[in-house]
Amino acid sequence: MDHGEATTTTEPAGTSPTLGPPLVELKDVNKHFGDLHVLQDIDLTVRKGEVLVVIGPSGSGKSTLCRAINRLETIDSGEIRIDGQPLPEEGKALAKLRADVGMVFQAFNLFAHKTILENVTLGPIKVRRERTSAAKERALALLDRVGVKNQAGKMPAQLSGGQQQRVAIARALAMQPKVMLFDEPTSALDPEMINEVLDVMVALAKEGMTMIVVTHEMGFARKAANRVVFMSDGQIVEEATPEEFFTAPRSDRAKDFLSKILSH
Ligand SMILES: Nc1ncnc2c1ncn2[C@@H]1O[C@H](COP(=O)(O)OP(=O)(O)O)[C@@H](O)[C@H]1O
Ligand SMILES: [Mg+2]
């Protein structure tokens, strides 16, 4: 699916002068679920300001990779660092890490019994210890930025899927994260709502947010990504610029995968 125009401004992977120091670093990361080797020797560095798109067939380990970075999953061996710090095991340090790593999932996971505004202020008040008035003010500004300020008093179920997903982005941003992880944020949406979410993500990328985005949206990748990583069977098989990857994939597995997603 391609929901946008390709741009020609993409720079070669990793060479953009605007990118900062390493922010997310994975070194030789391995993870098993029983006999399944779901992450195999993963080496990956995402620099400050970089937008990385992760693409690959279902079951290749993309969600596990995201969850490992947020320590929602433990790893068996290797090392993951956020802003130079190894992932904490537990406790306050782990809560702090989770606040530094914003996460938006496929399914809208807003708190169903809280208003839109409460969904966005809860984390800042409880975890960041912000004053309620300050948290509300910032939440409203964020809801405005994602285009749903007028929905602030409603309950999640009263919003469309696209609106809920934009609230989920605002909620993650309210924690002032260093990096945002998106795991197929548009794949549960009706087609007419996909662009309204992708537009918010493109704007975020343009503002310099560091982002790891699992998506098959080529339009987004071409507009916003510095780099594409292709995963298959728990391995990073290929790394390229979006332009290189979508026009001339090198590996047979990537060619096969692209022929499948391009054919419908
Ligand atoms: N909690 C779990 N227990 C056992 N197997 C799992 C678990 N989570 C994921 N898997 C398996 O790990 C593989 C990778 O899953 P996942 O990371 O969700 O892939 P993707 O996001 O690329 O579709 C799949 O085969 C999946 O069934
Ligand atoms: Mg997944």
Mean pLDDT score, 193-209: 95
Q: Quick check: 263 and 257 in contact, CB under 8 A?
A: no
Cβ–ligand 1 distance for 60 under 6 Å, the answer yes
Chain-wide mean pLDDT for the chain?
91
Counting ligand 1 atoms within 8 A of each CB, the residue from 33, 215, 236 with the most, and so the one to mutate, is: 33
Distance from the alpha carbon of residue 39 to the mean position of ligand 1, in angstroms:
10
CB of 61 shorter than 6 A to ligand 1 = yes
Q: pLDDT tens digit string along 17-49?
A: 578 999 999 999 999 999 999 999 999 999 999
Whole-angstrom distance, CA of residue 65 vs CA of residue 223: 23
Query: Is the pTM for the entire model greater than 0.85?
Result: yes
Q: Rounded distance, CA 32 to CA 75, Å?
A: 8
Atom index in ligand 1 nearest the CA of residue 184 equals 21
Q: Is the distance from CB of 64 to CB of 22 less than 8 angstroms?
A: no
Compute, in angstroms, the gap from residue 74 CA to the centroid of ligand 1. Answer: 13
Tell me what the mean pLDDT of segment 121-148 comes to.
95
Which residue, judged by its Cα, is nearest atom 1 of ligand 1? 33
| Rounded mean pLDDT, 121-145 | 95
pLDDT digits (tens, 9 = 90+) for 43-90: 999 999 999 999 999 999 999 999 999 999 999 999 999 999 998 887
Of all protein residues, whose CA lies closest to atom 5 belonging to ligand 1?
33
Asked if 201 and 182 count as a contact pair (C-beta separation under 8 A), the reply is yes
